Structure 1
Amino acid sequence: MNWFRNSSPYINAHRGRTFVVMMTGEVLDSPLLPSLVHDLALLNTLGVRLVLVHGARPQISRRLHAAGLETHFEHHTRITDSAALEAVIAAVGALRLKLEGLFSMGLANTPMHNASIQLISGNFVIAKPKGVRDGFDYQHTGEVRRIEVGPIRRQVDAGNVVLLSPLGSSPTGELFNLNAEEVASTAAIALAADKLIVLGDGVRINDEQQRILRELTPQEAGRLLADQRLQDSALERHLTAACHAASNGVARAHLLDAGDDGVLLKELFTRDGCGTMVTRETYETLRGARIEDVGGVLELISPLEADGTLVRRSRELLESEIQRFLIIERDGMVIACAALYPFPDEKVGELACVAVHPQYRSGERGIQLLRQLERRAREQGLERLFVLTTHTSHWFQEQGFQPADVHSLPAQRQQLYNWQRNSKVFAKTL
């Protein structure tokens, strides 16, 4: 039950927020699509204002192939002639009906029993022709001119889910084949959405050690795209859309592998998620503690106080000393802390209450806190740090601390030394 309890802050945080969720054409062919629709219905039930964007690339290609028509791409963009446009219209129309049917499910003993969700589509996307680029006439391939924000907002305000397709109409009445990622990112920006979520097939961005990159800034995402490290045109389109949205007012853009059943709920209702997030804001911050952080620090250190690793601190004591603490906060949760107690007459400082949440002990967060407190100590004119520890002497030695004697402590600190606890003393010259 812990996972459900831990999801409650996110349920409250997401209520009333606007999410633009894009599903690629490959996802719409997946056997997991009904489960994904159930999860989207759950978001709607929890008060999330949903705008869905669907792709249609593989469905269009199949219709063109069945009709014996060739298709050409330039810069990952399909050139759409009049015959191809008919295939686009047929594919998009079929997918709209498919999604409407899935959102209409209400059978007993299913997750959508009595859900009664209205999926609304219409001429919300206004398009313009792409024209001639580098000598290629893209014909009926277009670009997004604008998103009809007012009508969309009225629908989501009423609790409906809005569906946008990769097909837009122009003021002259023409239809244009659009890039679904462009529709999604442009809609997210225009609606001032809180999130853009891209659900694709096999979407995964790894670092050089083949570990998934959990977080990127738009600048880091831009460098990945410029270096052409992705070697996957679909992933390149997805990351470009995420980078565009995050650079233009959308707080967070998420890239998720829809082949992982429940990926949407894992990403939105767990602290670490399971995909890659492009965000303008730092998801994890190191900063000075404030009075409102006392509860989070107490929750972090209580297990360590219980097993004797740390000396017990009352809430009242912690409140009076909170300005001495640094914390690392991850999406609203205090996951690490440490404090510096200066003895200015002796030009010495005590490093105390170093704690890192068990789930986050592999990321060198303790070292980050130590380096920042060493910098703070130097700024205060301190020349040496000491620490008293019973359990973590090896870690402090690895960080340059040397064994020291109790009698080397400042006189005031010697008087407070707990001989029954028998902590070991380590010191480090700054």
Structure 2
Amino acid sequence: MSSNFNFNFVPWFRSVAPYIHKFRHQTFVIGLTGEGIAAGKLHGIAQDLALIQAMGVRIVLVHGFRPQVNEQLAAKGHVARYAHGIRITDSVALDCAQEAAGQLRYEIEAAFSQGLPNTPMAGATVRVISGNFLTARPVGIVDGVDFQHSGLVRKVDVAGIQRTLDMGALVLLSPFGFSPTGEAFNLSMEEVATSVAIELRADKLIFLTEVPGIRMQPDQPGGEDNPIDTELSLAAAQALLARLPGALQPADAGFYLQHCVTACKAGVERSHILPFAVDGSLLLEVYVHDGIGTMVIDEKLEALREASIDDVGGILQLIEPFERDGTLVKRDRTEIERDIATYTVIEHDGVIFGCAALYPYPEARTAEMAALTVSPQSQGTGDGQKLLKRVEQRARSLGLDSIFVLTTRTRHWFLKRGFQSVDPDWLPDARKRKYNWDRRSQVLVKKL
């Protein structure tokens, strides 16, 4: 039992270490929906945030309170009203919002204070500091609808938040802001988290929500059951939003996606949508290679895309040195032209810096990833990992269960990314017939 635990723990802990180094001193803005707190997930999330903070991450936590305010309204016999996905906050709703915010702040501070022995919080000292860091302005009248005490963020006290983070505290923000005249405005958690992430130039904006992420092709019939798209480029996210029907409401995946896009366009390089229902989803997204939800990433001048016939010359130029030294099996132009639809490429400023091909074997519910190549100039920048993720997405969208590679030189790179060694006899029959026994390539498989 003990040796088996050690066997699993040691490689796992080593695999997490690069992420601990990478995120130390970075700033994460976490948007936690009121639904997550109502579902009883606060204590687990507080423990995970305390753990992340202990590993050197600076955290701003913005809580929502939509269901809590609705509950208070119902108790007073008042109906919750929305327009354009924003609450219409009359004086009764404002009272309910202030009451709900006070209660939730108390619960959140209590959750971070539980240093019980034999729990993840033992020995943790998490100072939670909240304050009037937000200046707000009224939404006003839109399309004839008076939003009354509903507001939008006018200004974020960046210096005040930074000073608080520098003290080692976790900053807690409620979706409330005040005007310079002292008037209170009810804000949306999503808008507050997005505005704060942009103004702080945060490294990540993370929404913990009731939706599990963005599904592949959600706008297609039956798309609500498709696999989660673990990584969306900013361009792909914008294209998807443009196709989604109607006005986006809270609890729609697109409602959170539009805020991720806003953040990415304004310089927050990575935004995430995670399910609060999965225990440890924050840890799984931040410290595990494949993650669990959807990450929207601003690729700037980099394009990760399916190849076209115009890319054949660039692919040949890229792979030729690796064919010459024996790292890759030689492919001629005709073969690449014939198979160009199976290739994914990554380019920077119009120059191809990486490629990979996917050859499906549907009868065996698997596919081969072949010709994975990254230019020496961009090795170590994560291009290989991006190509792998995109190929995995393509394989998932074909309904396949796994992908495999044959390699003579890069076994360890694949092992670190979730592949496992198997005997060549594992290969689908059609691929086994083409296996070069003289080359003695190692076969590695990754379950999707």
Give the alignment's TM-score, normalised by structure 2. Answer: 0.66
Match of 1:155 in 2: 164
Match of 2:298 in 1: 280
**1:422 and 1:117 mapped to 2: Cα distance?**
56
Q: Give the SS at the match of 2:137.
A: strand
Contact 1:185 1:241 in 2 (8 A): yes
Structure 1: which amino acid aligns with 2:143?
D
Contact 2:94 2:149 in 1 (8 A): yes
Q: Does 1:421 align with 2:433?
A: no
Aligned-pair CA distance for 1:81: 1.0
Q: 1:240 aligns with which of 248, 258, 264?
A: 258
Q: Does 1:106 align with 2:122?
A: no
In the TM superposition, 1:279-318 aligns within 5 A as 279-281=297-299
**1:119 and 1:160 mapped to 2: Cα distance?**
6
Change (3 A) 1:360 1:241: closer
Aligned-pair CA distance for 1:30: 2.1
Q: 2:130 aligns with which of 117, 121, 133?
A: 121
Structure 2: which amino acid aligns with 1:212?
I
**1:394 and 1:362 mapped to 2: Cα distance?**
23
Contact 1:217 1:279 in 2 (8 A): yes
Change (3 A) 1:243 1:108: same
Contact 1:104 1:117 in 2 (8 A): yes
Q: Does 1:71 align with 2:80?
A: yes
Match of 2:278 in 1: 260
Structure 2: which amino acid aligns with 1:239?
L
Q: Does 1:82 align with 2:94?
A: no
Q: Does 1:11 align with 2:27?
A: no
State the structure with more CA Rg. Answer: 1
Change (3 A) 1:393 1:240: same
In the TM superposition, 1:37-48 aligns within 5 A as 37-48=46-57
**2:238 and 2:195 mapped to 1: Cα distance?**
18
Q: 1:220 aligns with which of 233, 236, 239?
A: 236
Aligned-pair CA distance for 1:112: 0.6
Aligned-pair CA distance for 1:23: 0.3
Contact 1:336 1:357 in 2 (8 A): no
Q: Which runs of 5+ in 2 are unaligned?
A: 1-8, 218-222, 308-313, 329-352, 357-369, 376-386, 397-402, 405-423, 441-448
Q: Which runs of 5+ in 1 are unaligned?
A: 302-324, 329-334, 341-355, 368-388, 404-417, 424-430
Structure 2: which amino acid aligns with 1:122?
G
Structure 2: which amino acid aligns with 1:198?
F
**1:272 and 1:174 mapped to 2: Cα distance?**
45
Structure 1: which amino acid aligns with 2:191?
E
When structure 1 is superposed on structure 2, of 280-289 and 269-278 the one drifting more is 280-289
**1:326 and 1:126 mapped to 2: Cα distance?**
46
Give the alignment's TM-score, normalised by structure 1. Answer: 0.69
Change (3 A) 1:47 1:68: same
Match of 1:94 in 2: 103
Aligned-pair CA distance for 1:33: 1.9
**1:14 and 1:63 mapped to 2: Cα distance?**
39
Q: Give the SS at the match of 2:296.
A: strand
TM-superposition CA deviations, 1:289-312 (whole Å, max 9, x none): 99xxx9xx99x99xxxxxxxxxxx
Match of 1:415 in 2: none
Change (3 A) 1:62 1:253: same
Q: 1:249 aligns with which of 267, 273, 279?
A: 267
In the TM superposition, 1:114-193 aligns within 5 A as 114-193=123-202
**1:358 and 1:203 mapped to 2: Cα distance?**
18
**2:255 and 2:389 mapped to 1: Cα distance?**
37
Aligned-pair CA distance for 1:6: 0.6
Pairs aligned (count): 335
Match of 1:315 in 2: none
**1:392 and 1:82 mapped to 2: Cα distance?**
67
**2:272 and 2:303 mapped to 1: Cα distance?**
13
**2:100 and 2:391 mapped to 1: Cα distance?**
46
When structure 1 is superposed on structure 2, of 281-290 and 99-108 the one drifting more is 281-290
Aligned-pair CA distance for 1:227: 1.8
Structure 2: which amino acid aligns with 1:70?
V
Change (3 A) 1:337 1:143: same
**1:30 and 1:99 mapped to 2: Cα distance?**
14
Q: Give the SS at the match of 1:188.
A: helix
When structure 1 is superposed on structure 2, of 27-36 and 358-367 the one drifting more is 358-367
TM-superposition CA deviations, 1:102-148 (whole Å, max 9, x none): 01111111111121110110001110111111111111000000110
**1:76 and 1:44 mapped to 2: Cα distance?**
33
**2:146 and 2:390 mapped to 1: Cα distance?**
54
Percent of residue pairs identical: 40
Q: Give the SS at the match of 1:162.
A: strand
Aligned-pair CA distance for 1:284: 7.0
When structure 1 is superposed on structure 2, of 206-215 and 262-271 the one drifting more is 206-215
Match of 2:363 in 1: none
Q: RMSD of the alignment, in Å?
A: 4.0
**1:191 and 1:339 mapped to 2: Cα distance?**
34
Match of 1:384 in 2: none
